[in-house]
Each structure stands twice: as structure tokens, then as C-alpha cells.
Amino acid sequence: MGEIDFGKSLSRTETSIPGLVVFDLPVHGDSRGWFKENWQREKMTAAGLPDFGPVQNNVSFNDAVGTTRGIHAEPWDKWVSVATGRIFGAWVDLRDGPSFGAVFTTELDASKAIFVPRGVGNSYQTLEPDTAYTYLVNDHWSPDATYSFLNLADETAAIAWPIPLTDAEVSAKDLAHPRLDDVEPVAPRKTLVLGAAGQLGTALRAELAGLDHVEWATRADLDLASADLASARRWRDYETIINAAAYTAVDLAETSEGRVDAWAANASGPAGLARIAAANGISLVHVSSDYVFDGASDRAYREDDPLCPLGVYGQTKAAGDIAASTVPRHYIVRTSWVIGDGDNFVRTMASLASRGIDPKVVDDQRGRLTFASQIAGFIRHLLEKRPTFGVYNLTSDGDAVTWADVARRVFELTGHDPARVTGVSTEDYFAAATAPVAPRPRNSVLDLTRARESGFAAEVGDTLLREYLAS
């Protein structure tokens, strides 16, 4: 039997396959035997092991030298190690992408382990009798899961098995697996976009066009209030949920019917998504609003400022933020004054200007426009760059303006006299209202430092407004 390498420190070594990482494990031994921490979440994540959330531990015991198993690529991550004995391990990347077909081999004894990401084919051959091969996985076996397999003798992979396969113990099933040219590559985990028909959903369709792993859903496609939500999809196949759905009728939310709908869409819905995401290791992207603040601050709002909403809409959005923040992998994108496809303030002002109507527009609320295309681009940035999880403010950059300032600029850019716009206070604007009116934050300016530090440069609002009107 081979000697176990005692006295190592916990460390990681990258391999030729992206995401496949070998770990040296400290093993402590004396005359009685040895001890190791085979998996210790806090220490190993600190050393760079993904926090992959294992749910099951399996052990494969092998009597004889030369027992050979694989090459199997399952739709879950594995933490592979040896309890007794020694193996020659071989891994082949069967994921769809540029590293498809890449091979890595190494020997494992009790002092080594390897993290095998979803879609990488896993196989081994025992080098000692009575070898116990153990692995943690982060999903339960399912007949609905999609698997890929590669023949152990594939000529392209050309694995140099220490014991020739003709002399090894191999199952008939493993011998019958396809060659690399016939393997169905493992697709990436999917992204689900909710609110696919809304203005942000429309912008995301343009931003994520051509990505086959992105799915789109409206409220009719997926009911977040359903008691069967947990089984509505095979959620372990999803990497990300983007919640672009929301109830945004801020004044109607102050009515008895609107209040129910706002709480259902903005609070209960995100709470259901949060439970799904947390239970299945999914990243949740949730879009928030400046209305979670009361607007009383004399400076731009930062991500860590306490929530203090004024009206029902703001309260429901704040509740949704709190629910989303319970997900270990979450991005909350907080925006203000959103402009996208469909009816919006900019389109309304352009229409009034062209029809010769001189509007009165509120001039005591300050903020910055946020364009739906900009939000979609920032969400893609977060998913590709994966900065620290948490809350990120995102609006256009530049000086804060009032709604009256925006209206005058729309008039000007469309060739009309901006002096036709009259600024009025919020109180005067709504003085004649007969239906409930939601309180508005007077200061909606959001600090963009954190988004900037993530590597995303927000464009100046006036530039984006020019482009929007031109299009």
C-alpha cells in the first residue's frame, strides 16, 4: 500500500480544466492511524472551494485493484476524495464550450481531494485493494436530470490508464458509452427571466439575445403564489433567476385592491423566489426602487442606508428587498425613474410637445433617469463579472435633475421651446386629484460608487436621453 502524505497544509491547485480544482488536505497520523477533515465548509471556502451546498454523501467501495468506473458527467458538482486506498482519477470536460474534451489526470490518496464542477466527466481506476472512494454532491439523483457519458477508451481523450482496460474490471455499460464525437455536450445551467413582457423584460431580451440557456416567463407561465412552486421546475438546472417583474402603479397601490396586488407582486413573489433560490444554490437578481427611501436625506442614498419607505408601493418594494437579501447569492439592483419601451414620462413629454400642449411638471423631486437598456446591461455585467453579492445602485450618471428639468430637455431635444414647461410643487400638481395619491420621495438620487467599483461605468443621463429620443 502507498504511504499517506502527512503534514500537508490545506491548499488548492488549478488544473487544465476550468473549475476543476485539486486540494491538498491536512492528514494527522500516529501509531493508531490517521485523521483528516475531509470537508470543512468554512476553511475550504476560505481556501477557494466554491460554497457548493452538498446534500448527499456517497461511498463506492472497491475490492480489487483495477476496478474502473466512468466517465460520467452529471448535472451537479462533486467533492471527490478517498477514505482508504488510492486511485488514478481521470476527468474530461464534457461541458458545451471551448474546453470541451479537455483531460486532466492525477492520483488521489487520503491526503488529496478534487472539486469536480457540473458537466465534467468523472472516472477512476483503483490502484490498491479495498479502496473506498467517497463523494459529496449538491443534488439528489433524479430521473429527469440530463447526463452525458464518454467511453473510457475514447481515442481523443487518450487516457493513459495505469492498468490496461483489457485487464481491468469494467462494467458492460461503461464499455458501451459513446466516443467524444458522439457525446451530447452538457449545456450550462439556465437563466430564468421573470417579467419577460415588461419594459425591463423587453430590454433584457435585447441584451441577452442569442443565449440559448436563457428562458423567459410571464406571470401566466409561472405563478409565484402557487403552492407547487418548489416543483414547478427542476430548479437545480438553473444558475440564475432575474426578477424583472413588479407592480409599479404607485398611486393605485394606495387603493384597497391595488394594495393587495402590490404586496403579492412586490413582496410575496420575491419571498417565494428567495426560498427557491436559497434551496437550490441559485443566484437571484432582484430589481428595487428609490421608493424604499423617504427622500429626506440631503445627500445621495447609498446601498447601506436604512430602508424607510413612505407609501404602499415603497413598503412592498422594501419587503421584497428584505426577502431577496436572504438568498446567499443575491444581487439587488436599486434604480429610479425608469424609462423603457411603452408608456413613460419621456414619451409623454415628447407627445405633449408635438401636440402643442404646455404641461405643468413637478420641480421639487430630484433624481436621475434610469433607462431599461442600461439596467439590462448592468445585470449582464453582474452575471459575467460576478462582483461581491449584495445591493447595487444603478441610474444614469451626471447631475441630479427634477422632473421639470427632464421635461424641458425633452422639449428642447425634440425642437420645441422648453419655456413651455411650467414647474410646480408636488402639492400643487396633485391638489385637484380625486383618487389616492402615493407620497413621493423628494430626493431620489442614488450613489453610484459601488457600481463604478464593480467595473461598470454608467453613462451620463443627458447622453442616454438623446439616444432614446433619437431611436
Active site residues: 72, 135
Cβ atoms of 89 and 190 closer than 8 Å: no
Residue of 273, 183, 192, 195 lying closest to 237 (CA atoms): 192
Strands (E), 275-314: 283-289
Q: Identify the CA nearest to 108 among candidates 94, 78, 128.
A: 128
> 118-149: b or e for each residue (b if 16 or more CB lie within 10 Å)?
bbbbbbbbbbbeebbbbbbbbbeeeeeeeebb
Question: What residues have CB less than 8 Å from 356, skipping those under 6 apart?
Answer: none
3-state secondary structure of 5: coil
Q: Contact at 8 Å (CB) between 119 and 75?
A: yes
For residue 406, which of 341, 362, 451 has the smallest C-alpha distance? 362
Q: In what order do the strands lie in the sheet with 11-14?
A: 11-14, 21-24, 112-116, 78-84, 131-137, 56-62
Phi, psi (degrees; rounded to nearest 5) at 54: -65, 145
